[in-house]
Structure 1
Amino acid sequence: MKIYKTSEIAKIVGIHPNTVRLYEEIGFIPKVNRLENGYRVFTDLHIRQFKIARRALNIEVLQNGLRKKAIEIIKTSAKMNYDKSLILVKEYLNQIDMEIKNAEEAIGITNKLLKEGYEEGGKVLKRKEVSALLDISIDTLRNWEMNGLIKVKRKENGYRIYNDEDIKRLKIIRTLRCANYSLSSILRMLNELSADPDIDIKEVIGMRENDEDIITACDKLLKSLSESKKNALIIKKEIIKLKTEYKKPSTLTP
């Protein structure tokens, strides 16, 4: 079995030696044995796990717990619990697919609003119903309202009600938050969207990078999600190979 020093691992993986030690400390790689002189001894298994970790963390703008899930995959794989790792990868891919769907829907809503504007009417929902429909916590809805992202109407009994216009706005906000935009940036983009419903879409898309609009923000998110999905599929294949080569008993089924 070939072994490697810290400096050799750093060169192979393309990271600083201090990062090699950090990955060991936070549990991103399997336990590292040491020689009598205290030097760390790495193997090909460590190299492969380093590459899994690097690929999993190669994401730019994702929020909504996706980075947390990626870290969980890394740590579980590092423990050589490959069955559970595959389950986590599957959950991660499912969430990415959902975020892609949400982003595409947000682009469609924005395009329609730019052409037609908001329309009053439609079904009215309570806060609890909106929370379930959009998979957003009630605390998050309350936070967005407190920060001025949405103004919610109330019935005579004081209950908040959300119409179709509110739901569309919330779907856009949800996607922009996944793209890691601040609440103030989202508010600015929504205000720009509402200010001129007749604005030329091409003009909106062509705005300066530091003055992004909703469509370009969603496009950036879609690109990042697609890249993350591609990386996750590669990680899945690698974990399947590791599972075959480094068998470890497990009661879980992928």
Structure 2
Amino acid sequence: MASRPLRTSDIARELGVHVNTIRLYESWGYFSDIPRGTNGYRQFSTLHLEQARLAHLTLSTPYLGDKNLLIDLVKYAAHGDFAQALEQAYRYLAYVRMEITTTEAALEFLERWAVGQIRETTHQKMHIRQAAQYLNVTVDMLRNWERNGLITVPRDSSNGYRLYGPSEFGRIRVIRTLVQSGYSLMAILRMLQQFDAGHTENLHATLEIPREESDVEYIEIIADRWHSTLLELENRAQAIIRQLGSLIEMTHAS
């Protein structure tokens, strides 16, 4: 005996979302065709439930890169094009893993710098434009990092201009590397305050301490614990692939 069709509210309840979310999923093309009963009500199946589960899993924040890649993934699956859907899913997983590698390299660079293993070869003092060119950053970046308390630059006693030297160069390399890896300035500042207080070991752990959600924007919280977030995103990318596998099995079994 066939199980009764599922209602919009059944799908919403199963996913823990509002019924309007399921209606939006339908309007955005995240479901295969949904038949209607004689009363005009939608008759969802367990296949639709799993398609909704894929959409909810794939498009929940946070995510990396171009959201259109993930939207296309969900739409391909809804239309039964699992080859394209899986290709998109594995592309996304590869992208997340590339970000993890970049971040882990940045954290290793930080730890080596903190214990004095990375030394500058130049002892030349430079004004801000020279320093920016030497370090391949912009003058605005240097001013912004100083304004946010990440670095204090000594001044030339003769004219009051900033003078960057080896100590500043090393610190800026660390800041630049962590910023490029996705960490927020507040997380980097917190870590540098620990370094300045004489703590040189396990500084990466300081970068992973989130602040109170009530005090900051959500995206800043994510950037405070970037490495942990990336590992969670990797797990979610793998879960997306598993969900696609479940949909493929359901389609072949029907």
What is the TM-score of this pair, normalised by structure 2?
Answer: 0.63
* Matched residue, 2:84: 84
Partner residue, 1:30? 32
Distance in 2 (CA, whole Å) between partners of 1:25 and 1:146 is: 47
1:235 corresponds to which letter in structure 2?
I
Structure 2 match to 1:75: 75
In structure 2, the CA distance between the partners of 1:142 and 1:34, relative to structure 1 (3 Å rule), is: farther
Rg comparison, structure with higher value: 2
| Residues 115, 198 of structure 1: 8 Å contact kept | no
Higher relative contact order (CA 8 A, sep 6+): 1
What amino acid sits opposite 1:185 in the alignment?
M
Alignment pair present for 1:231 and 2:231: no
Q: Taking structure 1 as reference, are residues 69 and 197 closer, same or farther at Cα in structure 2, changes over 3 Å only? A: farther
User: Are residues 1:113 and 2:119 paired?
Assistant: no
Matched to 1:119, the amino acid is: R
**Alpha-carbon contact 1:114-1:198 (below 8 Å) kept:** no
> CA 1:71/1:198 → structure 2, altered by over 3 Å: closer, same or farther?
farther
In the other structure, the counterpart of 2:211 is: 210
Aligned sequence identity (%) = 21
Q: Which moved more, 1:234-243 or 1:48-57?
A: 234-243
How far apart are residue 168 of structure 1 and its match?
A: 4.6
Deviation at 1:50, TM superposition (A): 1.3
- C-alpha distance 10-145 of structure 1, shift in aligned 2 (>3 A): same
User: Residue in 1 aligned with 2:177?
Assistant: 171
Match of 1:160 in 2: none
* Residues 1-10 or 82-91, more deviating: 1-10
Give CA-to-partner distance per residue, 1:143-175, whole Å, 9 cap, x none: 973873499xxxxxxxxxxx8876554321122
Deviation track 1:184-242 (CA, whole Å, cap 9, x = no partner) reads 5367458647x82843446884697439xxxx977832332222222322322332343
Aligned counterparts, 1:106-185, within 5 A:
106-116=106-116, 119-121=119-121, 145=141, 148-149=144-145, 168-176=174-182, 181=184, 185=186
After TM superposition, give the deviation of residue 114 of structure 1 in Å.
2.4
Q: Distance in 2 between matches of 1:109 and 1:81?
A: 43
Instruction: Report the AA paired with residue 173 of structure 1.
Output: V
More strand by share: 1
Contact 1:32 1:40 in 2 (8 A): yes
Give the total of aligned pairs.
Answer: 209
> C-alpha separation between the residues in 2 aligned to 1:109 and 1:223?
18
Whichever residue aligns with residue 246 of structure 1, its letter is: T
Aligned equivalents of 1:9, 1:51: Cα separation in 2 = 9
Gaps of 5+ in 2: 123-131, 152-168, 213-220
Distance 2:121 2:197 in 1: 18
SS in 1 for 2:211: helix
Query: Gapped runs of 5+ residues in structure 1?
Result: 131-140, 152-162, 248-254
Q: Is the 8 A contact 1:115 1:197 kept in 2?
A: no
Alpha-carbon displacement from aligned partner over 1:11-60 (angstroms, at most 9, x marks no partner): 22322212111221223333433335432221111111111122223554
* Whole-Å separation in 2 of the counterparts to 1:197 and 1:66: 40
Distance (Å, rounded) in 2 between the aligned partners of 1:20 and 1:55: 13
**Letter aligned with residue 223 of structure 1:** S
